[in-house]
Amino acid sequence: MLDTRIENPPQLEGLSDPPSADGSLPAIVVKAQEDARCRLALARLGYTRVRSDYARHRRDRKETFASLGHESLWPSTDFVRDWLKEERRRIFMRAKWPFLMTMLVTIVAGLAFAAVAAILS
């Protein structure tokens, strides 16, 4: 579950190409596109691999995350740290409801068992 890879969502399909070189877009738009491409590339790597690479980069005190260099992306380690926080929260929220429902069903089954045992004795 932690190392699942995400397919390209339809809204990010156009972001796989680098921004145009003619400079027709404002800098904030180019930065937003680069951030979206970085997030997509990090998602493709998977949470576990990004976390281990991030730990190695932090240990070596590097400012840029070089694991995406093959895609010509060089996000800062702060950007990757923020992505890891968001991804961990997303994974937790996705696993929260099934866990709570399983716990609730187990409690109800235990109470039903205790009620039947009390009735039969």
Task: Give CA–CA dist 74/104, Å, rounded.
Answer: 45
Residue 121, CB-side half-sphere exposure with 13 Å CA sphere: 6
Cβ partners under 8 Å of residue 25, min gap 6: 19, 33
- How does pLDDT run across 90-108, given as a tens digit for each residue? 998 888 889 999 999 999 9
User: For 8-35, how does the pLDDT look when each residue is reduced to its tens digit (9 = 90+)?
Assistant: 555 555 555 554 555 588 888 888 888 8
pTM: 0.61
pLDDT digits (tens, 9 = 90+) for 35-85: 899 999 899 888 889 899 888 888 888 888 877 777 778 888 888 899 999
